[in-house]
């Protein structure tokens, strides 16, 4: 196998060397452009020439181990879902604050190892709630309803998955 590989590399080097020598000998002009194009094509043929023989041998994709790549992919999926969860939490807290309710903590529980971003539950902590002048409601039940509308508008969840804690 090593001899065939070294022969392949030597043939590539030989064709490239020959093309450089011919380019130095030929004068500038149209003929030089055509000769360069022909040698570029020949170099490509020499580079891809061993590929059919490699594929022709008993090549099987099952011989390739993908375990290491799979673990890396799981880490990537996990990290992306964590970023999405944090971004959703921050966005919901910002939206709630814009409606006049401060110190509201939103916690999103999601399936971090799933290939799609699935929210299991959203918890809204209202024990430190501060109602500002921009708020429409002062009744806690009306506030919960308004916050629920905000969450449902920004997150793909069912109403039953949103839990309020006072």
7: enclosing H helix or E strand: helix 2-25
C-beta separation of 32 from 23 below 8 A? yes
**What is the C-alpha separation between 147 and 150, in angstroms, rounded?**
5
pLDDT, tens digit (0-9, with 9 covering 90-100), for 3-54: 777 787 888 888 888 888 887 887 777 777 888 888 888 888 888 877 766 6
Residues 6+ apart with CB under 8 A from 166: 126, 127, 140
Classify domain 68-165 by CATH number.
Answer: 3.30.300.30
- In 3-state terms the chain splits into helix, strand, coil percentages (rounded to 5) of 60, 15, 25
What does pTM read for this prediction? 0.56
pLDDT, tens digit (0-9, with 9 covering 90-100), for 63-103: 555 555 555 577 888 888 899 999 999 999 999 999 999 99
| Kind of pairing between the strands at 101-102 and 130-131 | antiparallel
């Amino acid at each position: 196998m090593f001899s065939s590989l070294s022969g392949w590399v030597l043939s590539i080097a030989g064709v490239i060397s020959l093309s450089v020598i011919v380019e130095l000998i030929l004068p500038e002009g149209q003929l030089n452009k055509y000769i360069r194009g022909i040698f570029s094509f020949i170099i490509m043929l020499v580079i891809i020439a061993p590929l059919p023989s490699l594929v022709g041998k008993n090549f099987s994709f099952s011989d390739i181990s993908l375990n290491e790549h799979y673990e890396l992919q799981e880490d990537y999926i996990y990290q992306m879902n964590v970023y999405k969860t944090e971004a959703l939490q921050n966005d919901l807290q910002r939206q709630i604050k814009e409606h006049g309710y401060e110190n509201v903590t939103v916690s999103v529980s999601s399936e971090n190892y799933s290939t799609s971003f699935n929210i299991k539950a959203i918890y809204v902590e209202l024990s430190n709630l501060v109602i500002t002048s921009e708020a429409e409601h002062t009744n806690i039940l009306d506030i919960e309803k308004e916050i629920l509308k905000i969450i449902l508008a920004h997150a793909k969840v069912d109403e039953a998955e949103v839990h309020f804690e006072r």
